[in-house]
Structure 1
Amino acid sequence: MPELRKDPVIGRWVIIAVERSRRPKGFKAPSHKDTEEDCPFCEGKEDQTPHEIFAIRKEGSTPDKPGWDTRVVPSKRPFLRVEGSINRHGRGLYDVMSGIGAHEVIIETPKHIGNIADLEETQIAKTVTCWIDRFVDLGRDERFKYVLVFKNYGVAAGAGHVKHSRSQLIATPVTPKRVKEELIGSKKYYEYHERCVFCDLVHQEIESKDRIVLDFDGFIAVTAFASRFPFEVWILPKEHNCDFSSMGVEKRLYLGKVLKKVLTKLKVALDDPAYNIVLHTAPFRRKKAKTGYWTTIEDDYHWHIEIIPRLGSTAGFEWGTGFYICPITPEDAAQYLREVEE
């Protein structure tokens, strides 16, 4: 019988439709075509991107020239632009503001490698360092309230046809609705229980072990209890922390190891599927902010990474109701991933 499950953070319901369940091999996605000759992200083609904002480089190398390990550049087709003021105003009953923000591309390797799972752990840690540097720098701009890091891999996930490992970062003048739902849910849970909901989630998952994919060096990877999508995996630090950008150098390497292990398992299990990665962390909090919710965010919120393989499509029922239908139990998905040899 199908089962409805409620997400403990934001209260969203999903349907685990076990009658529609497929074997893990039934989720494997078609392969992607590559166009290496047209790739603007490879080392030696720095003149094909905008000027770099930040890079981890070999000693003695020059900006916008070869010699880099990871490199951050503005998007050529930004969703939001840095220049200008917010100019928030009303247009009748509608709220409007200028499209102010930042849109950057993090090029994760100088080599033409498509999947971050195929990079060395130390190289993934350098990508994490780039994310953190950009969080800190963009946080100095008081126009911005939030920074979202995300990654699209594969055409089905919106990555386009150039298969070079990269992630993106967008700074926004408002807190995104999806993040705000998590913030509100976390606050309500904390007000009632005086504990972080994500910390309780971590403790329960470690105790039950049913959905654990990996427990390694201060991080756990779990299939979400109320999974929206098949093989949806969350990575959380076991130690409470609301700010991703406060992570120390050693933990960045540990996170690089965990990301590589989880993404390699997904690659092997599902035959290199398309996927999205999103990083949810606390919004910027500044001294002049009003008292209220922000006084508890350090205690009630917990940063985490969500990995979503793109193995199906969202149809009318999902759009019309807000429900998601997942055709495999998170417990079965976790067991399958645990058994995968990396």
Structure 2
Amino acid sequence: MTELRKDPITGRWAIIYVDGQRELPKWEPVGADGDTENCPFCEGHEDRTSPEIFAYRKEGTYPNTPGWFVRCIPHIRPWLSVRANLDRKGLGLFDMMHSIGAHEVIIETPHHDCDYHNSSLEQVVRILSTYRNRIVDLKKDQRLKYVLIFKNRGKPAGSLHVSHAHSQVIATPVVPIRTIQELHGTLKYFKMKDRCIFCDIIRQELKDGVRVVDENETFLCLIPYASRFPYECLILPKRHRAQFSQIEDAELKGLAQLFKRIFNRLHQVLNDPPYNCVLHDAPNTVPQKGAWQTIDQDYHWHFEIIPRIMRTAGFEWGSGFHINPIAPEKAVQDLRSISLKIDETKC
């Protein structure tokens, strides 16, 4: 039996299979390809990448040399560039502008076969701290309205060329439509109830308990009520915050702890699945007439994790509906059931 569930923020509907689960398609575990000799992101191959913008390094080492923990570099084939002017134009009823922005790569580890689940806590803190650094830095450019940080792991998730763990940063001169839909939903709720909808979701889910995967003192991981994909997860701060750049150093450690636990659970239950991980953050709140008046009160940053084990087909593209063959409550049981195996011996 299936049921329709509505996302309270975006209004999007999902068809959820609620009697047990339907069989999932087969997928290949991601793993690393082992080709360290030809990997441009491995330590010792710094001359094969663009010069680094930012890095966490061992004391006494120099930029673009070995001895780093995390590196951020310009993308070798960027979609957007800061070296341009907007030059907005109307072409009849169409609008266009120059593709200003930024496109960067965060190389998350010097080791070829490491990821969140088997990296040390300190290393995950460095990765998340690099996310914060790039957001703060890029938001200084008032032309850039949004900074999106995302990770594609495995070919089904969009990582086609390099298996070495890395994230990407893309800053755009407009706020993406997906973000606008989310912002409209949170603002509408705030105007009705004078509360943040994400904070209310956190309270409701902690009370119900059936969709909570894991938590610690400062962060919560849940599977959304109207989740679109099997084992889709959200990680949210329990303390209300609109902007990821506001996260404190002590909070980064709590976030890193939960990251490791969640990705360890996904790694074991789904056998190293391909996934996308996306940071949903507030836009660059540069002065705009009538915009962002209550965003610090009505929005709440969060990470979205989507295991890419289902294909999006014609019905989904045509309708905006998604079909989820595993109920969130069942997926939570699966993820909770395993014994965590925290491996930090190498990474």
TM-score when scaled to structure 1? 0.96
Q: Counterpart of 1:306?
A: 304
8 Å CA contact 1:73, 1:104 repeated in 2: yes
Bigger Cα displacement from structure 2, 108-117 vs 276-285: 108-117
Deviations 1:111-168 (A, max 9, x none): 1124322211110110111111111111111110000000001111111243211101
Q: Counterpart of 2:175?
A: 175
Bigger Cα displacement from structure 2, 185-194 vs 26-35: 26-35
Q: Distance in 1 between matches of 2:217 and 2:45?
A: 37
Deviations 1:51-84 (A, max 9, x none): 0000011111100011111100000111211211
Counterpart check, 1:156 vs 2:156: yes
Residues 204 and 220 (structure 1 numbering): CA distance in 2 closer, same or farther, change over 3 Å?
same
Q: Counterpart of 2:146?
A: 146
Q: Structure 2, unaligned stretches of length 5 or more?
A: 341-347
Q: Structure 1, unaligned stretches of length 5 or more?
A: none
Q: Distance in 1 between matches of 2:312 and 2:155?
A: 16
Deviations 1:188-244 (A, max 9, x none): 000001100000000000000000000113100001111110000000000100000
Q: Counterpart of 1:252?
A: 252
Counterpart check, 1:56 vs 2:61: no
**1:37 Cα offset (Å):** 2.4
Q: Distance in 1 between matches of 2:292 and 2:255?
A: 27
8 Å CA contact 1:54, 1:71 repeated in 2: yes
Query: Quick one: which amino acid aligns to residue 306 of structure 2?
Result: I
Percentage of matched positions with identical amino acids: 49
Query: Quick one: which amino acid aligns to residue 224 of structure 1?
Result: P
Per the alignment, in what secondary structure is the counterpart of residue 137 of structure 1? Answer: helix
Query: Quick one: which amino acid aligns to residue 212 of structure 1?
Result: V
**1:17 Cα offset (Å):** 2.8
- Please give the residue correspondences for 1:48-87 in structure 2 after superposition, counting only pairs within 5 Å: 48-87=48-87
Q: Counterpart of 1:100?
A: 100
Query: Quick one: which amino acid aligns to residue 145 of structure 1?
Result: K
Q: Distance in 1 between matches of 2:26 and 2:260?
A: 19
Query: Quick one: which amino acid aligns to residue 184 of structure 2?
Result: I
Q: Counterpart of 1:226?
A: 226
Q: Distance in 2 between matches of 1:268 and 1:222?
A: 17
Per the alignment, in what secondary structure is the counterpart of residue 201 of structure 2? Answer: helix
Aligned partner of 1:324 among 322, 325, 328:
322
Counterpart check, 1:289 vs 2:310: no
Q: Counterpart of 2:266?
A: 266
Q: Distance in 1 between matches of 2:27 and 2:205?
A: 29
Query: Quick one: which amino acid aligns to residue 331 of structure 1?
Result: E
8 Å CA contact 1:145, 1:174 repeated in 2: yes
**1:31 Cα offset (Å):** 2.6
**1:88 Cα offset (Å):** 1.1
Per the alignment, in what secondary structure is the counterpart of residue 269 of structure 1? Answer: helix
Per the alignment, in what secondary structure is the counterpart of residue 250 of structure 1? Answer: helix
Q: Distance in 2 between matches of 1:173 and 1:293?
A: 15
- Please give the residue correspondences for 1:171-210 in structure 2 after superposition, counting only pairs within 5 Å: 171-210=171-210
Counterpart check, 1:127 vs 2:127: yes
Q: Distance in 1 between matches of 2:25 and 2:124?
A: 26
Q: Counterpart of 1:6?
A: 6
Query: Quick one: which amino acid aligns to residue 288 of structure 2?
Result: A
Query: Quick one: which amino acid aligns to residue 133 of structure 1?
Result: N
Q: Distance in 2 between matches of 1:19 and 1:209?
A: 19
Query: Quick one: which amino acid aligns to residue 289 of structure 1?
Result: Q
8 Å CA contact 1:237, 1:304 repeated in 2: yes
Q: Distance in 2 between matches of 1:239 and 1:218?
A: 7
Q: Distance in 1 between matches of 2:261 and 2:22?
A: 24
**1:293 Cα offset (Å):** 3.9
Query: Quick one: which amino acid aligns to residue 331 of structure 2?
Result: A
Q: Counterpart of 1:88?
A: 88
Per the alignment, in what secondary structure is the counterpart of residue 292 of structure 2? Answer: helix
Q: Distance in 1 between matches of 2:124 and 2:173?
A: 28
**1:295 Cα offset (Å):** 1.4
TM-score when scaled to structure 2? 0.95
Query: Quick one: which amino acid aligns to residue 312 of structure 1?
Result: M
Q: Distance in 2 between matches of 1:138 and 1:147?
A: 7
8 Å CA contact 1:38, 1:162 repeated in 2: no
Q: Counterpart of 2:331?
A: 333
8 Å CA contact 1:19, 1:327 repeated in 2: no
Q: Distance in 2 between matches of 1:17 and 1:117?
A: 29
8 Å CA contact 1:224, 1:233 repeated in 2: yes
